[in-house]
Structure 1
Amino acid sequence: MVKIFRFLKPYIWNLFWVIVFLFAQAIAELYLPTLMSEVVNNGMMKGDTGYIWKYGSYMLLVALGSSFCSIVGSYLSSITGMGCGRDIRDSVFSRVESYSLNEFDKIGTASLITRTTNDIIQVQTLLVMGLRFMVFAPIMCVGGIIMAYSKDKQLTLILAVVLPVMLILIGTLATVIVPLFKAMQIKLDKVNLVLRENLTGIRVIRAFNRLASENQRFEAANRDLTDNAIRVNKIMALIQPAMIIIMNLTSIAIIWFGGHRISQNIMQVGDMMAFIQYAMQVMFSIIMVTIMFVMVPRAQASAARINEVLEVEPGIKDPPESIMSDSQRGHVEFRDVTFSYPGAELPAISNISFNASPGEVTAIIGGTGSGKSTLINLIPRFYDVDSGSVLVDGVDVRQMNQKDLRAKIGFVPQTPVLFSGTVAENIRYGKADATDEEITHAAEVAQASEFITALKDGYESMIAQGGTNLSGGQKQRLSIARALVRKPGIYILDDSFSALDFKTDARLRAGLKKETTTSTVIIVAQRVGTVMDADRIIVLDEGRIVGMGRHKELIVSCNVYREIVSSQLSEEEIA
């Protein structure tokens, strides 16, 4: 929790003034019972109306000053808490953006969402409330004890008995509640995970009639979270009545013993009334601390989870001194590359070596799980190799700044990813300053202009979150247009034609060939028809290259390729 406090550094002056105003409020609150005792002892008991008016006016002014300080203190603490929450959220988001895919896989998307939203809200709420309670309550507690002691030393013994009892009760409850709050955040992660899977996979769930089972799965996660929350609230529910009983018993004890002292002329009525108020102020300050104990354990658990995100060192970092190649053509070379996913028993790809030159189309084909997507994910350095090296324009990608490296690449992922916004905005995502003419040209080459112009608002038509209002083929073509508008030196197309019909596929490949004459094109595909015309076809099997060459060469020399071809084409087409 202490580590989170570093985000309060920009708000030092705000914190200073919060302390000043809350200190002034506490002093005013502590002074009011003394003024009241003066009114009772010297005004009411003696029938001096003028004295009552005079000191009553002082009480009004002190009360108004206390209210003013309370308002200003609350305002400043809110600004500080909310601003700090915003800064934490920015830092978490920036850190997550720097993660490699390994870190994403390790923590999990659902957990990262919870940590960026709910966990930060818990800390933010604690800061807003805590700045007030943590400053105000101790001053009231210590000041109340001092003022009560000044009124009557003997009666202060009652507080000496009561306060330890209250503190022991609070401490005992805290030791039980802290683990439950930690568990609550983990269970909230589970609810978010199930919810996210259901929302993103609703088509599959409905297609397989799994609505009932998914409802049960969500209900189980939700019930687990609810039961944990109810258990916490049951424990917390004990605090309020326990505190009220202690406060009432304390008041009875003060009145009982105070009455005896008044009857013996040791104490005045006004002093006893002031003592009761000071005792209540002390106990209320402890109740404020109790309220903080409700919030602190959960915020502490949340802070630990936030710190985990901030302290994870990205596995992929920019080198201290980035090397830039003199050539910007986009030449790609793999030198004896081996890569394994964390925790995997066997490498995903082994001893991969090949060259992909500008002006050439290099196709990668192979069975499911042969390592095709893994291989191309190493070029933009989404992962780092275990051994060997991946070079772009003669420079190892690990020696290049990630931003500079990826600026050379137009990447089209296996699953098209679109963002909420207009069609034009999604294409312009590849090049922020792209002109309307460049956007239109990229869409035409990607064979997307026909369906775009058929939309109600053309290029200004809105795309729903995740592109749910478009077909799979339309999303693929927009993803390709987004890469084309960038005009990079390297095009990476990861199975980007799978949702296209053969006619559109052929037109798109013909358009790409004209558009990418000076660029390196690397295509991952399942269809033989997509790769037949490539300058170089790399055949993968179980993470290894088992064939490399042109279509006709591989039919003769590579058994794996021949099996793939024969499974898709007839004898006449092969001939």
Structure 2
Amino acid sequence: MKALCTNFRGYYPQLILGPLFKLLEAVLELMVPLLMANIIDVGIAGGDRAYVLRQGLFLLLLAVLGVAAATTCQYFASVAAFGFGASLRRQVFRHILSLSGHETDAIGAGSLITHITNDVNQVQNGVNMFIRLATRAPFLAIGSIVMAFVLNARIALIFLISTPLIVLVLYQVMKRTLPDYARIQQRQETLGTLTGQNLEGARVIRAFSRQESEKKDFAAASDAHSALTIQVGRISATLNPLTYVIANFAILAILWYGARFADRGLILSGDVFAMVNYMTQTLLALIVLANLIVQFTRAAASAKRLSALLATESSIRGESVPHTREQSAFLAFEQVDFSYAGPAGKNTLEGVSFTAEQGQTIGVIGGTGCGKTTLANLILRFYDVTGGRILLDGQDLRSYPLESLREKIGYVPQNVKLFSGTIRSNLQLGAPQADDDALWAALTTAQARDFVQQKPEGLDTPVEEGGKNFSGGQRQRLTIARALAKRPSLLILDDSSSALDFATDAALRRALKQDTGGMTVLLISQRASAVKDADRILVMDEGRLVGQGSHEELLQTCPVYREICVSQKLVPQANPESEVSAR
């Protein structure tokens, strides 16, 4: 919880003054029944209109002061709670960005979204309610009982009987509902995950006509959430009737014994009226206290979840150590093993070794699931190797500060992502200082200059969320330009031309070869035509490097590569009879 409490810095005055002003309001509220009793016993009983008027004006003053105190408390509560919430949300967001792929995969995107939205809101609301009511409700309940004893100790015994009964009802209701509130939060998280999956995969769902199936799954989850919420609501709905029955019987008892005592001159009529008011105040304060406990329980559950998230440390650490060159090659894999499940899991990569010199273009090809993208993930340190090591510019990747490492790398992922803003803001994502000339040069190399120039606003053309106002090929070319704009030492293109036609793809490869002098390029593709002109080609198969060399060498020495080329009609299929003769 300490990690969460650091977000209160700067709001300590509000945390102290807010409850004090609410306490002042409660004190003023406790004075009202006494003033009303005096008006009845002195002013009305004695026919003293001036006294009634004076006391009425005093009541009005108390009301004004109470409103002022409550408003001041509400202001302090809002400043502290929303300031705390904003700071906590930023802290959680920063922490999520610091996590490696292992942690984000384990937690899940849906849970992370729930943490940063629902959980933060619950804790924020808990802070708000604490400042506003945590001191007022118990003080008002206890104060009302004390004031009743001051007026008449014998009648006040009714408070000692009714109050525990009300507390017992509150306890029984909360005992049954509090565990369900935690389950409701879990089911909200499930609904959020389902919603995210359906929105992200909406086109796939439509393409396979799975709308009805997805609707049923969502309806089942929604119905389960609704059923539990209704169940909790039904139990909670008994709270007010039961407590009011007890309070009303207590008020009847106060009136009954108050009337009898008043006949005997043991109590004044105004005091009986005041005691009825104190009973009402006690009831309302206890109900508020019960709602506070429910709110605090929800906030505590969310705070616990957030604390667990903030306590989760990234398995990837960036170290800053003296640069000691251990390898002459610019990029080197040395017997690299990797498993997404950790050292104990099945290897996705096994015994991968290769080198790339400065300025070389290295092609990577292989079937689906062979580990091509994993190579890129390891170089960027989204994950760390489970065996062996990777060196960049002669230094182990794990010895680089993460920011310094990623400044050297330009990356174009398989699933391209553009952000809301403009073409300019997207291109400057990795190169904030890049001027227009540099941006246009990157667009030219990425074969995107023509369609951007056709836009009336050019570089300032708006980009909608995810780049949905551009075609798939245009998005890919813009993300390639974004990677080129930062002029990286290492450019990783992960199947980044899959949406391009062959002519544009060929033009892109020619431009990359001409314009990326001195830049090492790792070109990952499933198209043999995309990698055949690379200085060296790496052939992956089931997590192993089964061949490396030039296009011509691999056709002769690597059956896997030749099979890929034949299947893509890049080379003719060998004559079976000639193969037998060769054997």
CA contact (8 A) 1:536 1:548 kept: yes
Q: Name the TM-score, length of structure 1 as normaliser.
A: 0.95
- Match of 1:335, as an amino acid? E
- Secondary structure of 2:46's aligned partner: coil
Aligned to 2:141: 141
> 1:61 and 1:147, CA in 2 relative to 1: closer, same or farther beyond 3 A?
same
1:212-260 Cα offsets, whole Å, 9 max, x none, are 2222222222212211211111111111112222221111111011111
Tell me how far apart the structure 2 counterparts of residues 42 and 486 of structure 1 sit (CA, whole Å): 85
Aligned to 1:368: 368
Aligned to 2:233: 233
Q: Shift in Å at residue 199 of structure 1?
A: 1.5
- Match of 2:499, as an amino acid? A
Aligned to 1:467: 467
CA contact (8 A) 1:537 1:551 kept: yes
CA contact (8 A) 1:88 1:120 kept: yes
- Match of 2:111, as an amino acid? S
CA contact (8 A) 2:331 2:392 kept: yes
Q: Shift in Å at residue 519 of structure 1?
A: 1.4
CA contact (8 A) 1:358 1:517 kept: no
> 1:198 and 1:505, CA in 2 relative to 1: closer, same or farther beyond 3 A?
same
- Match of 1:272, as an amino acid? V
Is 1:556 aligned with 2:556? yes
Tell me how far apart the structure 2 counterparts of residues 392 and 311 of structure 1 sit (CA, whole Å): 31
1:46-125 correspondence runs (5 A) = 46-125=46-125
- Match of 1:176, as an amino acid? R
Tell me how far apart the structure 1 counterparts of residues 558 and 184 of structure 2 sit (CA, whole Å): 56
Is 1:400 aligned with 2:400? yes
1:151-207 Cα offsets, whole Å, 9 max, x none, are 011112111111111112212222221221111111111211221122122211222
Is 1:489 aligned with 2:481? no
In percent, how many aligned pairs have the same letter? 38
- Secondary structure of 2:238's aligned partner: helix
Tell me how far apart the structure 1 counterparts of residues 9 and 453 of structure 2 sit (CA, whole Å): 53
Aligned to 2:273: 273
> 1:570 and 1:405, CA in 2 relative to 1: closer, same or farther beyond 3 A?
closer
1:504-559 Cα offsets, whole Å, 9 max, x none, are 11111111112221111111111111111111111111111111111111111111
1:125-136 correspondence runs (5 A) = 125-136=125-136
Tell me how far apart the structure 2 counterparts of residues 521 and 221 of structure 1 sit (CA, whole Å): 47
> 1:572 and 1:387, CA in 2 relative to 1: closer, same or farther beyond 3 A?
closer
- Match of 1:86, as an amino acid? A
CA contact (8 A) 1:330 1:408 kept: no
Worse-superposed segment, 297-306 or 92-101? 297-306
Tell me how far apart the structure 2 counterparts of residues 175 and 302 of structure 1 sit (CA, whole Å): 19
Count of aligned pairs between the two proteins? 574
> 1:572 and 1:233, CA in 2 relative to 1: closer, same or farther beyond 3 A?
same
Aligned to 1:255: 255
- Match of 1:51, as an amino acid? Y
CA contact (8 A) 1:181 1:301 kept: no
- Secondary structure of 1:368's aligned partner: coil
Q: Shift in Å at residue 98 of structure 1?
A: 0.5
Worse-superposed segment, 377-386 or 72-81? 72-81
1:70-469 correspondence runs (5 A) = 70-319=70-319, 321-324=320-323, 331-342=330-341, 345-469=345-469
CA contact (8 A) 2:137 2:289 kept: yes
Tell me how far apart the structure 2 counterparts of residues 330 and 129 of structure 1 sit (CA, whole Å): 61
- Secondary structure of 2:10's aligned partner: helix
Q: Shift in Å at residue 334 of structure 1?
A: 0.9
CA contact (8 A) 1:411 1:491 kept: yes
Q: Shift in Å at residue 298 of structure 1?
A: 2.6
Q: Shift in Å at residue 3 of structure 1?
A: 6.8
Q: Shift in Å at residue 308 of structure 1?
A: 2.4
- Secondary structure of 1:10's aligned partner: coil
CA contact (8 A) 1:323 1:400 kept: no
Tell me how far apart the structure 2 counterparts of residues 194 and 409 of structure 1 sit (CA, whole Å): 35
Tell me how far apart the structure 2 counterparts of residues 283 and 330 of structure 1 sit (CA, whole Å): 78
- Secondary structure of 1:180's aligned partner: helix
Aligned to 1:543: 543
Q: Shift in Å at residue 39 of structure 1?
A: 2.0
- Match of 2:54, as an amino acid? K
Computed over aligned residues only, the root mean square deviation of the Cα atoms, in angstroms, reads 2.1
Q: Shift in Å at residue 478 of structure 1?
A: 0.8
Q: Shift in Å at residue 323 of structure 1?
A: 4.2
Q: Shift in Å at residue 453 of structure 1?
A: 2.1
Tell me how far apart the structure 2 counterparts of residues 4 and 235 of structure 1 sit (CA, whole Å): 33
- Match of 2:340, as an amino acid? Y
- Secondary structure of 2:556's aligned partner: helix
- Match of 1:206, as an amino acid? R
> 1:142 and 1:9, CA in 2 relative to 1: closer, same or farther beyond 3 A?
farther
Tell me how far apart the structure 1 counterparts of residues 155 and 196 of structure 2 sit (CA, whole Å): 60
Tell me how far apart the structure 2 counterparts of residues 352 and 412 of structure 1 sit (CA, whole Å): 22
- Match of 2:341, as an amino acid? P
CA contact (8 A) 1:103 1:314 kept: yes
Q: Shift in Å at residue 418 of structure 1?
A: 0.9
Q: Shift in Å at residue 415 of structure 1?
A: 1.1
CA contact (8 A) 1:422 1:462 kept: yes
Q: Shift in Å at residue 83 of structure 1?
A: 1.2
Q: Shift in Å at residue 123 of structure 1?
A: 2.0
Runs of 4+ in 1 over 6 A off after TM superposition: none
1:313-367 Cα offsets, whole Å, 9 max, x none, are 1111222x4445689x991111111111116742000111111111111111111
Tell me how far apart the structure 2 counterparts of residues 8 and 44 of structure 1 sit (CA, whole Å): 52
CA contact (8 A) 1:177 1:297 kept: no
Tell me how far apart the structure 2 counterparts of residues 5 and 551 of structure 1 sit (CA, whole Å): 60
Aligned to 1:527: 527
- Match of 2:183, as an amino acid? A
> 1:223 and 1:456, CA in 2 relative to 1: closer, same or farther beyond 3 A?
farther
Tell me how far apart the structure 1 counterparts of residues 408 and 3 of structure 2 sit (CA, whole Å): 39
- Match of 1:209, as an amino acid? S
- Secondary structure of 2:315's aligned partner: coil
Tell me how far apart the structure 2 counterparts of residues 180 and 62 of structure 1 sit (CA, whole Å): 42
CA contact (8 A) 2:19 2:133 kept: no
